[in-house]
């Protein structure tokens, strides 16, 4: 009886082993079949047309070094209302000046303080912006050194709206005309900005910019100053020729206007239409040490602030144009505050370097 039981147990174990082997064999065969089917249906994935394949294992930064001259821009919030302020604002019969607490200095007081004798102020009431006074003082000092003439008088500078209206009314009374061709209406005169002045002389109490005085018109751009109302631009400025009336705009802009024979109306229109930020920028190099680029930015009229793209790590200036936008001047080389001795005077037949700036970098809002 014991022997039969032992044989039965052995038989059961053998049967179990055989069963397990069969199950394992079926599993292996199934796995092989699945792998074969999968392999048969597998296709090679083509290379992406958007990825450049190269055997070179060096990084892109090693292959293409970063341009050290590339300008990186970021956006700053700038008050939209400031489009009516700045050295490049256009004030004329179509563009009113609204007045913004002008910072002014007395010409006569500054002359006395600095003990200058090369030019004079009309009286104690003559005032201009500090940046304009400094430019005038440097220019007239150099004029004296060149010509030994010291009779230039800064006769008129800043005017209040009331003073301007009185002058306008007096001119109408004198000419009998309904509108004046010689005096701007109150609110439409550059004299109200502090960036304009009139010259005369203490010898004749007249000034025509001729003879020895022509040096001033030839060199005033070197100090950021322009003759505002040229004789051949009266149809555009709508003001008669005034050889005595000068306006401060800054050296790069004065250079470009003089070189290309543009009045302020033409220059601001050129920047608006041809050199917006999103497109080509105007590059101006007026001597070996100073180079800048200029572009126009539209204001955000729906907001109190406008995002203006400006360069990171570069000096820049923002001026409104007094109507529909901002003019940004970026100093690529130099600071635009002085002029190296120029090799030649600006002429109409010379050409500025005009280039483009890489604008691919995202602007930080």
- Backbone Cα Rg of the chain: 38
Determine whether 113 is an active site residue.
no
- What are the strands, taking DSSP E only, across the chain? 73-79, 105-106, 120-121, 127-128, 152-156, 196-201, 225-229, 242-248, 282-287, 290-297, 305-311, 315-320, 326-333
Block residue for tokens 């090369």: 118
How many CB atoms within 10 Å of residue 80?
Answer: 18
d(CA 135, CA 202): 21
Per-residue burial over 315-345, b if 16 or more Cβ lie within 10 Å, else e, is ebbbbbbbeebbbbbbbbebebeebeeeeee
d(CA 186, CA 11): 123
Catalytic residue among 87, 190, 242, 317: 242
How many CB atoms within 10 Å of residue 262?
Answer: 19
d(CA 285, CA 123): 38
d(CA 71, CA 295): 14
Handedness of CA 327, 328, 332, 337 (dihedral sign): positive
Handedness of CA 361, 267, 194, 191 (dihedral sign): negative
- Hey, which residues are catalytic here? 242
């Amino acid at each position: 009886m014991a022997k039969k039981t032992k044989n039965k147990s052995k038989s059961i174990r053998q049967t179990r082993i055989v069963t397990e082997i069969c199950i394992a064999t079926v599993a292996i065969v199934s796995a092989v079949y699945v792998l074969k089917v999968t392999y048969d249906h597998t296709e090679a994935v083509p290379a992406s047309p958007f990825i450049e394949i190269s055997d070179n294992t060096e990084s892109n930064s090693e292959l293409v070094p970063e341009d050290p001259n590339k300008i990186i821009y970021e956006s700053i919030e700038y008050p939209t209302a400031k489009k009516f302020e700045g050295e490049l604002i256009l004030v004329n019969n179509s563009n009113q000046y609204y007045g913004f607490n002008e910072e002014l200095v007395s010409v006569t007081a500054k002359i006395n303080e600095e003990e200058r004798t090369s030019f004079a102020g009309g009286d104690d009431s003559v005032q201009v912006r500090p940046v304009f006074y400094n430019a005038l003082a440097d220019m007239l000092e150099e004029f004296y050194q060149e010509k030994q003439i010291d009779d230039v008088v800064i006769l008129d500078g800043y005017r209040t709206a009331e003073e301007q209206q009185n002058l306008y009314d007096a001119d109408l009374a004198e000419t009998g005309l309904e509108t004046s061709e010689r005096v701007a209406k109150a609110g439409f005169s550059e004299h109200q900005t502090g960036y304009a002045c009139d010259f005369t002389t203490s010898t004749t109490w007249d000034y025509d910019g001729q003879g020895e005085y022509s040096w001033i018109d030839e060199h005033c751009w070197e100090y950021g100053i322009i003759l505002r109302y040229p004789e051949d631009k009266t149809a555009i400025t709508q003001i008669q020729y005034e050889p005595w009336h000068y306006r401060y705009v800054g050296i790069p802009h004065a250079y470009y206007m003089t070189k290309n024979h543009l009045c302020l109306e033409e220059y601001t229109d050129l920047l608006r239409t041809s050199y917006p930020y999103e497109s080509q920028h105007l590059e101006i190099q007026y001597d070996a040490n100073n180079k800048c680029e200029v572009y126009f930015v539209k204001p955000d009229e729906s907001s109190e602030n406008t995002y203006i793209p400006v360069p990171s790590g570069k000096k820049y200036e923002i001026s409104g144009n007094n109507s529909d936008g901002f003019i940004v001047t970026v100093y690529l080389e130099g600071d635009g505050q002085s002029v190296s001795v120029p090799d030649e005077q600006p002429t109409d037949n010379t050409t500025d370097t005009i280039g483009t700036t890489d604008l691919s970098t995202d602007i930080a809002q």
